[in-house]
Structure 1
Amino acid sequence: MVPCPTCAEDNPERARFCSGCGNPLPTAGSGARKTVTIMFVDIARSTDIGEKIDSEPLQQVMWRFFTTVREVIYNHGGSVEKFIGDAVFAVFGIPVLHEDDALRAVRSALDIRAAMEALNADLQEKWGLRLRVRIGINTGEVTVAGGGVTGDAVNVAARLESAAPPDEILIGDTTHRFIRHSVTVTPLGPLVVQGKRDPLRVHRLT
């Protein structure tokens, strides 16, 4: 069994993601270490959407969402690591590392938020609903092995996404240090998250 470093849940040896909290699990083997920028994009209050429309149109809505987000990420040189439920787990720096991966991720997040406006106009007309997304971005060292990306930077990005209000983008302090001359942010109070001893310094992208 493989214990989750975040919630301590035991998982099968071949599992890549924790069955308890959904975070990536350590991969066997040393792997390669890289400093990358991680982004999670999730639909806020997605269960409410499932109560408004049937399963078939819901599948169409989710396909439109995933396609929209994926295209924006690819346009900025990022890659989609995984679709987890209603969330998109993306990496900037794999397979190609850029000096400005942190900035690429932030620009991607802003473009995703803008693209959602166009998508929502269509969804509103067809099904009378709108999707509100929340985004978390964090930069740090990860291990790349067995086709997966793991590390504390991934866990922190997921926590930032979970803490973000609808339609907001939260970035970690390391990401902010890389891009501080290119963006405007609002510092938030220390964020206490599961699996971290010390509170996180967080910034809201404005």
Structure 2
Amino acid sequence: MIDLYTWNTPNGRKISVALEEMGLPYTVHAVNISKGEQFEPAFLKMSPNNRIPAIHDPEGPDGQPISVFESGAILLYLAEKTGKFLPADARGRVAVMEWLMWQMGGFGPMPGQVHHFLMQPEGPARDYGFNRYHTETKRLYGVLDRRLAGRDFVATDGEPSIADFAILGWAWRHERHQVPFDDLPNVAAWYERMMARPAVQRGMEVALS
């Protein structure tokens, strides 16, 4: 039974969705980041960067326990463990990893900054920060929309990959990013397709208390 340490954030939802899609049994441990629980020593042992999510797998490589932090690393670990949602062929794996890294490096940090500046008091600093990161966030949504033209999923055919789970975690907050899907028809269709999956719905509705 995998232990998932998480909270109601885009990065946290990536992992609960992946665990549901992969059919792996797991126990949820809420880490309330608004109360600073991510800085507690017990969590630090699993996640040296003091960020959720993190997992502990008592049946890791060679049958020995392992803890994994950073959502992208967790997704890769779970895909390797199950043999699911990551192609076996090198070309297919490269495509999935490209889009996973695209999410980790841009489509996450940029909208995260939009969230930050939207919460700041109005003024020149807020406006500058918001406009800068909002412009880049919209550009990234445009990149995603072009990629999804004529495609059901971001990096693979027939079924989603861990790249879709990673990107969905942040697209889930598109309204908070102030990026409507009106001019992003391919993203809109993909988002609807992903959110209609029963396992995705379960992963998005994981109770945290």
The verdict on a shared fold, with TM-score over 0.5 as the criterion, is no
Alignment TM-score, normalising by the size of structure 1: 0.35
Q: With structure 2 as the length reference, what TM-score do the two structures score? A: 0.34
Is the helix fraction higher in 1 or 2?
2
Q: Please identify which structure carries the higher strand content.
A: 1
